[in-house]
Structure 1
Amino acid sequence: MSVLKINNLHKNYGNIHALNGLNLEVEAGQVYGILGPNGSGKTTTLGIILGILEQTSGSFTWFDNKYGDNPRRRIGAILETPNFYPYLDAISNLKIVQRIKKSHNDDLDEILRKINLYERRESKFRTFSLGMKQRLAIGATLIGEPDVVIFDEPTNGLDPQGIAEVRTTLQDIADSGKTVIMASHILDEVEKICSHVAIIKKGNLLATGSVGSILSTDTTVEIGATDMNLLKNILSNISSIKSAIDRPGFIECSVANEDQFENIVKSCIDGGIVPTHIIKRKKRLEEEFLEITKETA
């Protein structure tokens, strides 16, 4: 089932083109990351699909219009810094959100357990760390049992512990079957949390698909030796190596699949080389992102 369809979306701010014909489709159950550097149009996209901003042209559809003109009752979202009453405790703040959303059947204790704040449910909001404040905001999006939850830079400004806590919370929400849409410029978070990704830059869609399909199947092999000239000669005769780049202390080779790793090592040993440095790694989203955005710079 299609949860969200974005068709040829444009947004102009005077002479600035924040979005240039954006087309996206999010399916139910996906954890969809909208990835791009600051100023790429991520927050603008979320603002439009939530009805906060008006597009210059183009259209979008929630749930194939299943809920008519009122899809927002099936959506929970955070777009800005969490805002709660600092002198109230966690449970009281969530009750206020309940009243605003006109939702009456939520199990607030269960929500607090899900975001790992149950033990602090009677603590005042002002005593919370940044990570705890962000998790409470995530909990507020779950009130009303939405089908879709939307987060804009959910780990922005957090320390490593806060990032890990929020990441775990988002993964738990995704595992519960909800559709998650997350905008971020932090590649590591998108790679760890999301099943699908759209890469945008300056309002243009550069790539979209499952994280697995965006990532290249190539394997990178770093290999170094005492005699670098002999190593280069050996590597130049291995047909499975697609590219070889000189790095300080080693040569970075790209091969079509990781099965070629043992062949490279064997060829070196047979040629009289004992590697002093050897690492095998799959290409990560960060490398792929840099290549995609560099090509369109």
Structure 2
Amino acid sequence: MEEYILKTENLTKSFKKQIVVKDINLKIKPKTIYGLLGPNGAGKSTTLKMITGILHPTSGSILFDGHHWSRKDLRNIGALIESPALYGNLTAYENLKVHTLLLDLSKSRIKEVLDIVNLKDTGKKKVAKFSYGMKQRLGIAIALLNRPKLLILDEPTNGLDPVGTKEFRKLIKGFCEEGITVILSSHILSEVEQVADYVGIIYEGQLKYQGKIDKEKDLESLFMNVINENSIKGGMIDVKYDTGGKTEI
């Protein structure tokens, strides 16, 4: 029996009569990087918000670390969804101190996470004067304060310049090496391809594919094959990587 740190079973979310996410069955192994791909509006953020308790599922279930998810599990989950909520008039250290007080954590953890995200030398600089990339890294530092088993990052490279994106990739790989499982949501295929071990593809609110990334094959071909197939017919399909112009189904 395979071990998963996170599983969702027929996870569904609707707003009034509109179904936004339907029957999502994620299977995520511990200490891996899972790339959640899909066009804008496909349902990636909605799915992650249910996993982090921001939204309540309409139906279906979430299993975390071998048991049914409850709000207590947020102690072991860190997340950066959309833009981080930061106090612009405070320093990076002071922002983190606020969260250690809320979470009843030791202040010694602040310097540790600042070092991890390379913000230890920001000193008395106010967060309002940080670059976008620095703010993203501070958001990740906040998510790391509680030493999470699972780290969820939703479109974390949006707005980053090439240098910031390269630094971010290195950061993500380091988390996995330290035993943290990472779910990385993005619509930028090249970014996911360079860091992820597994990939799931969401299209029109449904999980259409998930599997291990083959580093020898082209993720873009896989992605487009899945999208094109499902624009014609519904349901989840087992699409393998493009093998020279012909998709194996």
For Structure 1 versus Structure 2, the TM-score category normalised by the shorter chain is 0.7 to 0.9
Structure 2 length normalisation: TM-score?
0.86
Confirm whether residue 292 of structure 1 aligns to residue 226 of structure 2: yes
Aligned residue among 108, 111, 132 for 1:109: 111
Confirm whether residue 56 of structure 1 aligns to residue 58 of structure 2: yes
Would you say the 8 A contact 2:62–2:68 is kept in 1? no
The change in CA–CA distance for 1:105 and 1:63 in structure 2 (over 3 A counts) is: farther
1:43 aligned partner = 45
> One-letter code of the match for 2:166?
A
2:235 aligned partner = none
- More displaced, 167-176 or 53-62? 167-176
**Any idea what the Cα deviations from partners look like across 1:207-228, whole Å, max 9, x if unmatched?**
111112xx7xxxxxxxxxxxxx
Aligned to 1:119, the other structure's residue is in SS state coil
Aligned to 1:155, the other structure's residue is in SS state coil
The change in CA–CA distance for 1:19 and 1:170 in structure 2 (over 3 A counts) is: same
The change in CA–CA distance for 1:102 and 1:46 in structure 2 (over 3 A counts) is: same
Would you say the 8 A contact 2:100–2:107 is kept in 1? no
| Offset, 1:69 | 5.2
CA–CA distance in 2 between the matches of 1:160 and 1:65? 40
Considering Cα pairs closer than 8 Å and 6+ residues apart, tell me whether 1 or 2 has the greater RCO: 2
Confirm whether residue 136 of structure 1 aligns to residue 166 of structure 2: no
| Offset, 1:66 | 8.1
RMSD across aligned C-alpha pairs, in angstroms? 1.8
1:218 aligned partner = none
1:175 aligned partner = 177
CA–CA distance in 2 between the matches of 1:68 and 1:283? 38
1:23 aligned partner = 25
Aligned residue among 122, 144, 147 for 1:145: 147
> One-letter code of the match for 1:93?
N
1:119 aligned partner = 121
| Offset, 1:121 | 3.8
2:241 aligned partner = none
CA–CA distance in 2 between the matches of 1:142 and 1:149? 8
Would you say the 8 A contact 1:134–1:166 is kept in 2? no
CA–CA distance in 1 between the matches of 2:107 and 2:126? 24
Gaps of 5+ in 2: 232-249
1:154-193 matches, within 5 Å, as 154-193=156-195
1:186-265 matches, within 5 Å, as 186-212=188-214
Would you say the 8 A contact 2:97–2:107 is kept in 1? no
1:80 aligned partner = 82
**Number of matched residues?**
229
Aligned to 2:201, the other structure's residue is in SS state strand
Would you say the 8 A contact 1:151–1:181 is kept in 2? yes
| Offset, 1:50 | 1.2
Aligned to 2:202, the other structure's residue is in SS state strand
Aligned to 2:82, the other structure's residue is in SS state coil
Richer in strand (by share): 1
Structure 1 length normalisation: TM-score?
0.73
The change in CA–CA distance for 1:150 and 1:106 in structure 2 (over 3 A counts) is: farther
| Offset, 1:67 | 8.1
1:5 aligned partner = 7
Would you say the 8 A contact 1:112–1:121 is kept in 2? no
Gaps of 5+ in 1: 216-281
**Any idea what the Cα deviations from partners look like across 1:185-220, whole Å, max 9, x if unmatched?**
1111111111111111011111111112xx7xxxxx
Runs of 4+ in 1 over 6 A off after TM superposition: none
The change in CA–CA distance for 1:83 and 1:5 in structure 2 (over 3 A counts) is: same
The change in CA–CA distance for 1:75 and 1:13 in structure 2 (over 3 A counts) is: same
CA–CA distance in 1 between the matches of 2:189 and 2:70? 35
> One-letter code of the match for 1:286?
E
> Which has the higher Rg, Structure 1 or Structure 2?
1
